[in-house]
Amino acid sequence: MGAYILRRLLLMIPTLFGIMAISFLVIQFAPGGPVEQVIANLSGQGGGAADRVGGMSGDFGTNASGEASGYRGAQGLDPAFIAKLEQQFGFDKPPLERFGLMIWNYLRFDFGESYFRSASVIDLILEKMPVSISLGLWITLLSYGISIPLGIRKAVKDGSSFDTWTSAVVIVAYAVPGFLFGVLLIVLFAGGSFYDWFPLSGLTSDNWAQLSWPQRILDYFWHLTLPLIAMSLSAFATTTLLTKNSFLDEIRKQYVVTARAKGLAERRVLYGHVFRNAMLIVIAGFPGAFISAFFTGSLLIETIFSLDGLGLLGFDSVYKRDYPVVFATLYIFSLIGLLTSLLSDLTYTWIDPRIDFESRQV
């Protein structure tokens, strides 16, 4: 197993390098970079970015030769000012040199500063992480807590009316977009048109610091109730059907028939013999499911419920061409995804020691 883990870890290096190289190459052809963003703000076509560019907005003039800078909208700007912008953003260096410097810094987990937020990338990620951890953790626990018992019940009652109507509910819930259901919840329960039972924004109340610990816990879940309901509507569908099909496959095997023939109680057959084998693929996928819920699928929910998390940070950074945040989050998420894939494989061997990854090629 040690050799397999080492091979997987070594394989992560070219994989991660390839992800960053392709992304960096794509960015080179994407129009509207950070320099263009500042120029657009200075020319009145945007807002806010120029105010955060190190006090340089007063260094531009009306030199018509600014047209030669090659940036759209740069007419009338002093070429010296354009050169300062390029230097501040690092675009005065060739692309290969910039990419090499970025990789070298990322290997040392030095992610630099945001272009437009006056904060380090790490500080920004840590600031937004509580929201994403809250959504990812609780939606994963909720989906597994609902899916596994429901899937087992559906397998036991396969073909019954219970199996039929629960399948219909699961499929319909999976088809309804979470953000659309979130809007409905706001209209009904967050002061939209009917009831005003739940808060509409934030992870905690303004008086959080003055609350006791029991009140803080209640306040925390009070704010999370509607977002979690909106996200969990479709989150448990796949795991439910996977659990059901896995149990059905195991129930039909010979060892189950033998156990029943020996007179074992149905509950002991189901949970003493079938459960461990049937849940192998479900439980082993838990790390990946958590990471998926943690990093994806929350952008619209964060926007609707005014939760400032990693999803909103990533979208805003791409929109504003805040490349240090874009590349740093891509690097971190890719690295965590690769490590999680390895962890999932190791979980397989922990649940079922018969699985041997050592004997296969990566």
pLDDT for res 57: 41
pTM as predicted: 0.71
Q: pLDDT tens, 10-34?
A: 999 999 999 999 989 888 777 777 7
Number of other residues whose CB lies within 10 A of the CB of residue 175: 10
Predicted confidence band of residue 60 (pLDDT cuts 50, 70, 90): very low
pLDDT for res 44: 59
Please give the average per-residue pLDDT across 250-257, as a whole number: 84
Predicted confidence band of residue 290 (pLDDT cuts 50, 70, 90): low
Task: Give Cα separations from 20 to 31, 32, 54 (angstroms).
Answer: 19, 20, 28
Q: pLDDT tens, 202-242?
A: 788 888 888 888 888 998 889 888 888 888 877 778 788 88
pLDDT for res 58: 39
pLDDT for res 73: 54
Residue spans of the domains in the chain: they are 2-116, 125-319
CA nearest to 283, candidates 352, 237, 220: 352
SS3 at position 305: coil
Q: pLDDT tens, 66-111?
A: 344 556 555 556 677 777 777 777 777 888 888 999 999 999 888 8
Kindly write down the DSSP assignment for every residue of 192-253, as one continuous string: SSS-B-S-SS-SS-TTGGGS-HHHHHHHHHHHHHHHHHHHHHHHTHHHHHHHHHHHHHHHTS
Which class does domain 125-319 fall in? Answer: mainly alpha
Q: pLDDT tens, 299-334?
A: 778 888 888 888 888 888 888 888 889 899 889 888
Task: Give Cα separations from 45 to 30, 35, 49 (angstroms).
Answer: 19, 13, 11
Percent of the chain clearing pLDDT 90 (strictly above): 7
CA nearest to 6, candidates 247, 274, 342: 342
pLDDT, mean over the chain: 79
